[in-house]
Amino acid sequence: MSFEVDIAVERDEASVTAAFSSGEGITALFGPSGAGKSSILEAVAGLVRPKRGRIVVSGRTLFDGKEGTCLAPEGRACGFVFQDLRLFPHRKVRDNLLFGHRLASDDRHILELDDAVEFLGIGHLLGRMPRTLSGGEAQRVAIGRALLSGPRFLLMDEPLSSVDAGRRDGILSVIERIRDELRLPILYVSHDRAEVERLADTIVPIG
């Protein structure tokens, strides 16, 4: 199994629960805005500690409330593509891409800079600042930064929210290539049914 999750997370004085197991490919958390999908993603990343439960990714335990296991975010080896992208505004695209790559050990690298640039078609953007990028360009850079961080799996939180309609298909194709060519497990959050039906191998309703 790629993802085995059974947790409860405190959120705004309410509890969000999720229990699912999935195989290879893309697992989509699907539901309306405000249902707690992002909270579940943050729990898997280690940014939020669940109140109880267990999180296992590809056979590796990241959190187990009963056993007292809770790996730090940097120890989980996940690449996170945030809804608001979170590119460093003061760093050029090249430096944004290399930030996580420099922190990851060599044995975790799945791509080098040139490979990621070619894979994503962003060679012409390397000298640009984030503020000059379109939504689609910025999203490709954010995905590249996550891939270069040496991830064992990817977390994607509404990755198309800042991409205009004309560029959505291009980003969807990139995500499909990550699934099919790099074969990284992906936990994907969306409220768009057509999006998850196109991408996901497993759909988990939330809310």
DSSP codes joined into one string, 69-91: EE--GGGS-EEEE-TT----TTS
Distance CA 93, CA 140 (A): 10
Query: Which helix (H) or strand (E) segment is 196 a member of?
Result: helix 193-199
Q: What is the CATH number of the domain that holds 148?
A: 3.40.50.300
pLDDT at 121 over 80: yes
Query: Strand 78-81 relative to strand 202-205: parallel, antiparallel, unpaired?
Result: unpaired
If one counts every other C-beta atom within 10 angstroms of the C-beta of residue 190, the result is 22
Q: What is the pTM of this model?
A: 0.93
Residue 18 φ/ψ, nearest 5 degrees: -150, 135
Over pLDDT 70: what percentage of the chain? 100
Distance CA 41, CA 17 (A): 12
pLDDT in tens, 153-192: 999 999 988 788 788 899 999 999 999 999 999 999 999 9
Please state the domain count of the chain.
Answer: 1
Q: Which domain holds residue 157?
A: 3-205
pLDDT at 198 over 90: yes
pLDDT in tens, 145-162: 999 999 999 999 999 887
**57: which strand partners?**
3, 60
Report pLDDT for 98.
92
pLDDT band at 69 (very low <50, low <70, confident <90, very high): very high
Looking at residue 160, what DSSP letter applies? T
Which pair of structure tokens corresponds to residue 83? 């809804």
| Exposed/middle/buried for residue 78 (C-beta within 10 Å: 0-12, 13-18, 19+) | buried
Task: Give rounded-to-5 percent helix, strand, coil for the chain.
Answer: 40, 25, 35
**132: which strand partners?**
none
pLDDT at 88 over 90: yes
